[in-house]
């Protein structure tokens, strides 16, 4: 488990704000809940910011307490809403956001989001020396410093379940299916969903094996008597062709294949979070608040400005592998 801190605290924290930004992911609500309840346990005021950085610029704040986060641990999405803010990309926009935080007397900020959210937080911290902690929330699993981001496990299970159902109809009609999954520029979902669902081929951005090899593999499968096949394709695949162009290419170069395409799309970002994501979100929320209160900082801009090395082992720096007794009470 890893939460990323930008700044050592120089004053006592009495009021913490939490926001979600960028693409939503299952587990964000659980992380908000944990943050709010941990604040309440430590007698720290907690404020929610609607619509991410856009809401921070507009001063769209709401006071949160344990009762306001009842019954959200099992819900997908984020009840604080999320948005991508063009204005926050400008220095004037960030200055306006800082003014709103000062007006509300907010001492520290918990960000829940992905690469873009953390990049914005890092710049904001550098400009205004404002204490920030980031909780990695993205289905892409592409944030350096943590093995698993919030929502990745749920999205992976959603993809596997969908591919299992596609295999049923593929085998009934002796068809080849290209199934596109999300992941931005990394292939974590594609690789693990492909292995978990028994796909014949997996195409990921990290390694372009070439279209000739794909044709050879499919031809070999057909000669061995395989009547249907599944090829999992990451949305950032570097073969130079999108999933529909891959279908056309195979139909043009291999006779006898009835090819279909299924793009899973945003269904991977929705749905109730898995138990793994709920627990991970709860642990990260506790650690985020306690780190702010204790004035702990680590992995500053060097780690936050870099995205996770795709499909390579990432050092798991366990900040705390066990939840303290007081944290359990807070949850």
Instruction: Name the one residue in this structure whose structure tokens are 């090395």.
Output: 309
User: Which of 286, 287, 293, 319 lies closest to 38, judged by CA?
Assistant: 286
Cα–Cα distance between 189 and 152 in angstroms, integer?
Answer: 8
The DSSP code sequence of 96-118 is HHHHHHHHTT--EEEEEE-HHHH
Selecting among 24, 107, 115, 140, the annotated active-site residue is: 140
Is there a catalytic annotation at residue 140?
yes
Other beta carbons within 10 Å of 227: 13
Q: Is 69 within 8 Å of 40 (Cβ atoms)?
A: no
Within the chain, where are the H helices? 28-41, 52-58, 91-103, 115-128, 152-173, 188-197, 211-223, 243-253, 275-294, 301-304, 325-330
Cα–Cα distance between 213 and 219 in angstroms, integer?
Answer: 10
The DSSP code sequence of 248-308 is HHHHHHSTT--EEEEE-GGGGG-SPPPHHHHHHHHHHHHHHHHHHHHT---S-HHHHTSBP
Q: Is 139 within 8 Å of 271 (Cβ atoms)?
A: no
Cα–Cα distance between 244 and 233 in angstroms, integer?
Answer: 11
Active site residues: 140
């Amino acid at each position: 488990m890893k939460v990323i801190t930008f700044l050592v605290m120089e004053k006592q924290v009495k009021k913490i704000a939490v926001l979600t930004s960028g693409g939503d992911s299952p587990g964000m609500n659980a992380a908000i809940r944990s943050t709010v309840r941990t604040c309440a346990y430590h007698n720290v005021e907690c404020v929610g910011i609607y619509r991410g950085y856009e809401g921070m610029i507009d001063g769209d704040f709401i006071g949160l307490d344990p009762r306001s986060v009842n019954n959200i641990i099992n819900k997908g999405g984020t009840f604080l809403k999320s948005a991508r803010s063009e204005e926050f990309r400008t220095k004037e926009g960030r200055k306006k956001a800082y003014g709103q935080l000062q007006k509300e007397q907010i001492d520290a900020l918990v960000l829940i989001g992905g690469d873009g959210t953390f990049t914005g937080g890092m710049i904001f911290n550098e400009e205004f020396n404002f204490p920030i902690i980031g909780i990695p929330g993205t289905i892409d699993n592409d944030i350096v410093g943590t093995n698993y981001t919030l929502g990745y496990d749920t999205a992976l299970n959603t993809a596997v379940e969908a591919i299992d159902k596609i295999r049923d109809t593929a085998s009934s009609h002796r068809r080849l299916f290209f199934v596109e999954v999300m992941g931005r520029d990394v292939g974590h979902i594609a690789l693990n969903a492909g292995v978990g669902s028994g796909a014949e081929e997996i195409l990921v951005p990290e390694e372009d094996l070439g279209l000739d090899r794909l044709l050879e593999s499919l031809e070999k499968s057909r000669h061995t008597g395989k009547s249907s096949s599944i090829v999992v394709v990451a949305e950032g695949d570097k073969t130079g062709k999108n999933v529909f162009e891959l279908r056309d290419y195979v139909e043009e170069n291999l006779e006898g294949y009835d090819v279909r395409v299924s793009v899973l799309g945003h269904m991977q970002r929705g749905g109730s979070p898995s138990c793994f994501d709920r627990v991970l979100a709860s642990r990260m929320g506790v650690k985020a608040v306690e780190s702010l209160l204790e004035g702990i900082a680590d992995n500053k801009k060097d780690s936050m400005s870099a995205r996770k090395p795709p499909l390579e082992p990432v050092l798991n720096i366990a900040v705390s592998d066990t939840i303290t007794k007081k944290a359990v009470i807070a949850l």
